[in-house]
Structure 1
Amino acid sequence: MKIALAQINYHIGNFEHNSQKIEHAIHWAIQQKAEIIVFAELALTGYSPLDLLEYKGFIKQSEEYLQAIAEKCVGITAIVGAPAVNHSNRGKRLYNSAWILSEGKVQQVVHKSLLPNYDVFDEYRHFEPASEVNISEINGHRLAITICEDIWDTEDVPLYSRSPLEQLMKQSPEIIINIAASPFNYLQTFRREKILRENALKYKLPIVYVNQTGAQTELIFDGNSMACDDGGNIRERLANFNEEVKVIETGENWYGNPASPVPAPPSDEAITSLIHDALICGITDYFKKSGFSQAILGLSGGLDSAVVMVLAAESLGPENIRAVMLPSSFSSEHSIADARQLALNLGSRYDIIPINETFKSFENTLAETFAGTIFGVTEENIQARIRGVILMAMSNKFGHILLNTSNKSEAAVGYGTLYGDMSGGLSVLGDVYKTQVYDLARFINRKVEIIPLNTIIKPPSAELRPNQKDSDSLPEYDLLDNILYQYIELRQGEQAIINQGFDPVMVKRVIKMVNANEWKRHQTAPVLRVSPKAFGMGRRMPLVGKY
Structure 2
Amino acid sequence: MIRYHIIYKILLAIYMQIVIAQCNFTVGAIAQNSQLIIDTTLASDKGSVVVFPELAVTGYPPEDLLYRPDLYQRVESALEKIATASNEHVIVVGHPWREQEFTYNAASVYYQGQLLTRYYKQALPNYGVFDEQRYFACGNESAVFEYQGKRIGLLICEDLWTDQPIAKLDNQAVDLLLSLNASPFNSEKQNEREALLKKRAKNHQLPIVYVNHVCGQDELVFDGGSFAVNKNAELVARLPHYLEKIQTLTFIDDLLTSEQALLPHTEEAEIYQALVLATRDYVLKNGFKGAVLGLSGGIDSALTLAIAVDALGADKVQAVMMPFKYTAQMSVEDAKAQAQTMGIEFDIVSIEPMFDSFMQALNPLFDNAAVDTTEENLQARSRGVILMALSNKKRRLVLTTGNKSEMAVGYCTLYGDMAGGFAPIKDVPKMLAYRLAEYRNSLSPVIPQRVIDRPPSAELAPDQVDQDSLPAYDELDAILEAYVENDLSLTDIVALGYDEAVVSRIMRLVDINEYKRRQSAIGPKITQRNFGKDRRYPITSGFGQEHK
Q: TM-score range by the shorter chain?
A: over 0.9
Q: CA separation in 1, counterparts of 2:539 and 2:152?
A: 47
State the partner residue of 1:468: 464
Q: TM-score, normalised by structure 2?
A: 0.93
Instruction: Describe the shift of the 1:250–1:448 C-alpha distance in structure 2 as closer, same or farther (beyond 3 A).
Output: closer
Aligned-pair Cα RMSD in Å: 1.6
Q: Residue 3 of structure 1 contacts residue 34 of structure 1 at CA under 8 Å; is this kept in 2? A: no
Q: 5+ unaligned residues in a row in structure 2: which ranges?
A: 1-15, 257-263, 544-548
Please point out which of 97, 101, 116 is paired with 1:84.
Answer: 97
State the Cα distance separating 1:75 from its structure 2 match.
2.4
Q: Residue 222 of structure 1 contacts residue 241 of structure 1 at CA under 8 Å; is this kept in 2? A: yes
Q: TM-score, normalised by structure 1?
A: 0.93
Q: CA separation in 2, counterparts of 1:448 and 1:406?
A: 24
State the Cα distance separating 1:448 from its structure 2 match.
4.2
State the Cα distance separating 1:253 from its structure 2 match.
5.8
SS at match of 2:364: coil
Q: CA separation in 2, counterparts of 1:379 and 1:7?
A: 50
Q: CA separation in 1, counterparts of 2:307 and 2:454?
A: 21
Q: 5+ unaligned residues in a row in structure 1: which ranges?
A: 155-162, 256-265
State the partner residue of 1:23: 38
1:361 equivalenced with 2:361 (yes/no)? no
State the Cα distance separating 1:176 from its structure 2 match.
1.4
Q: CA separation in 2, counterparts of 1:292 and 1:412?
A: 28
State the partner residue of 1:135: 144
Q: Which amino acid aligns with 1:226?
A: F
State the partner residue of 1:73: 86
Q: CA separation in 2, counterparts of 1:35 and 1:330?
A: 64
1:443 equivalenced with 2:452 (yes/no)? no
State the partner residue of 1:49: 62
Instruction: Describe the shift of the 1:203–1:40 C-alpha distance in structure 2 as closer, same or farther (beyond 3 A).
Output: same
1:203-248 per-residue CA deviation (whole Å, 9 max, x = no partner) reads 1111011111111121111111111101211111112111111211
1:488 equivalenced with 2:503 (yes/no)? no
Equivalent residues in 2 for 1:113-128 (5 A)? Answer: 113-128=122-137
User: What is the total number of aligned residue pairs between the two structures?
Assistant: 522
State the partner residue of 2:173: 172
Q: CA separation in 1, counterparts of 2:522 and 2:363?
A: 37
1:323 equivalenced with 2:336 (yes/no)? no
Q: Which amino acid aligns with 2:327?
A: S
Q: CA separation in 1, counterparts of 2:342 and 2:19?
A: 40
State the Cα distance separating 1:487 from its structure 2 match.
1.6
SS at match of 2:365: coil
Q: Which amino acid aligns with 2:374?
A: T
State the Cα distance separating 1:135 from its structure 2 match.
2.7
Q: CA separation in 1, counterparts of 2:205 and 2:119?
A: 22
State the Cα distance separating 1:514 from its structure 2 match.
0.8
Q: CA separation in 2, counterparts of 1:139 and 1:518?
A: 57
SS at match of 1:495: helix
Q: CA separation in 2, counterparts of 1:290 and 1:195?
A: 35
Q: Residue 34 of structure 1 contacts residue 247 of structure 1 at CA under 8 Å; is this kept in 2? A: no
State the partner residue of 2:6: none
State the Cα distance separating 1:447 from its structure 2 match.
4.8
Q: CA separation in 2, counterparts of 1:491 and 1:138?
A: 49
My pick for the range that moved more, 492-501 or 522-531, is 492-501
Equivalent residues in 2 for 1:23-422 (5 A)? Answer: 23-29=38-44, 32-87=45-100, 89=101, 93-153=102-162, 163-252=164-253, 254=255, 270-422=266-418
State the Cα distance separating 1:107 from its structure 2 match.
2.5
Q: CA separation in 1, counterparts of 2:431 and 2:128?
A: 24
Q: Residue 83 of structure 1 contacts residue 96 of structure 1 at CA under 8 Å; is this kept in 2? A: yes
State the Cα distance separating 1:86 from its structure 2 match.
2.3
Q: Residue 134 of structure 1 contacts residue 171 of structure 1 at CA under 8 Å; is this kept in 2? A: no
1:326-384 per-residue CA deviation (whole Å, 9 max, x = no partner) reads 11111111111111111111111111111112111222212222133111111111111
State the partner residue of 1:516: 512
1:265-307 per-residue CA deviation (whole Å, 9 max, x = no partner) reads x99xx21111111111111111221122311001111110011
Q: Residue 2 of structure 1 contacts residue 250 of structure 1 at CA under 8 Å; is this kept in 2? A: yes
Q: Residue 220 of structure 1 contacts residue 282 of structure 1 at CA under 8 Å; is this kept in 2? A: yes
Q: CA separation in 2, counterparts of 1:275 and 1:295?
A: 20
State the Cα distance separating 1:492 from its structure 2 match.
2.0
